[in-house]
Amino acid sequence: MSAIYQHTCQTEGCDKPAALQCPKCAKLGIESYFCSQDCFRSSWNAHKAAHVVSDPKATYNPFPKYPYTGSLRPEYPLTPRREVPESIPRPDYAEREDGMSMMERSYGNAQMSTVSGSDEETMRKVCILGREVLDIAARTIRPGVTTDEIDRAVHEATIERNAYPSPLNYYNFPKSVCISVNEVICHGIPDQRKLVDGDIVNIDISLYKDGFHADLNKTYFVGKVDDASKKLVKTTRECLQKAIDMVKPGIKYRDLGAAIEKHAKANGFSVVRTYCGHGVGKMFHSAPNVPHYASNRAIGVMKPGHVFTIEPMINAGSYDDQTWKDGWTAVTVDGKRSAQFEHVVLVTEDGHEVLTRRLPTSPESQLDRI
């Protein structure tokens, strides 16, 4: 999971940051935010229509006037927030009204994510659990399944491991996993939309256990996918591997982006610049920042014990992005497809270790069949 965006006001013509949520929508599991009571009152006549769902199975587009860039549309209502047993330890933001991590806010980018000794072993175990949950989610993918159903599977698998789903309530994110389909770059909110034959879908798993976060993602094919999408997904995975292969003590974090962008451009694709990899461990997001494009200004040199994600987002068209009115869903500006892969990498004394690598029980890689 990458960078954070605020919600914006849903009043027509108002794009101010918004934190005030309609109480009725909150009960229905509908995302709706306003910047002020005045905007809420002025929008009431139009907004209240969102509360009326005569058919419980009916879905609707909550932002009908939004200028969508591609064919994908959100399908609401969202299901209510899933419960986490009280016995499961939570990160510091889990119960906050604003979802803000005070630990992250206190340290900012000054705290490099580093592990050693018992912490290293704990981080390794937590990342294995994250991989197990991703593999469970992968087995649910098929035409006809909704992204909300995948969210349920992820949530249940996470709490079965006595872990907390890290995205849940992180800056008010409403679900337990980010699921990004087709032109969605990242941070897609699981909803009632059914996957269809030919989609590509990214599942971004993050979980918290024993004081540490794991974070990984992968893009999958849904049914029969066109050759252009296959090339995009394959190239994206290769971009990630080229960056991983560079990781060892003494390498500058900013150098990874050049390798990623060179390979992406050679295959006719572009690299998203808004979102980057990051340190991960006791905090969900921390230093270092790991941009995926060339000529970036990231600071820092890799040292043994550093733990971070590499998670390139590669677009079929322009690298520019925009965000839906839900304040989270990042999409390509031209509606063309985007793919992403992510691993947690530990810098070792003589190289690196991929903590979220495939397990012997992981499903067969779809890329092996291309």
Each residue's pLDDT, cut to its tens digit, for the chain (370 residues) gives 764 546 888 888 888 888 888 877 765 656 788 898 888 888 887 787 676 554 556 899 999 999 999 999 999 999 999 999 999 999 999 999 999 999 999 986 678 889 999 999 999 999 999 999 999 999 999 999 999 999 999 999 999 999 999 999 999 999 999 999 999 999 999 999 999 999 999 999 999 999 999 999 999 999 999 999 999 999 999 999 999 999 999 999 999 999 999 999 999 999 999 999 999 999 999 999 999 999 999 999 999 999 999 999 999 999 999 999 999 999 999 999 999 999 999 999 999 999 999 999 999 999 987 7
Least Cα distance to 346 among 3, 113, 104 occurs for 113
pLDDT of residue 41: 85
Length of the chain: 370
**C-alpha torsion 225→226→231→234, nearest 10:** 10
Phi, psi of 292 (to 5 degrees): -105, 5
Which residues have a Cβ under 8 Å from the Cβ of 306 and sit 6 or more positions away?
112, 113, 114, 279, 288, 346, 347
pLDDT of residue 52: 59
What is the pTM assigned to this prediction?
0.86
pLDDT of residue 57: 63
Strands 7-8 and 17-18: antiparallel
Under a CB-based contact definition with an 8 Å cutoff, are residues 158 and 207 in contact?
yes
Q: Tally the C-alpha atoms within 13 A of residue 247's C-alpha that lie toward its C-beta.
A: 23
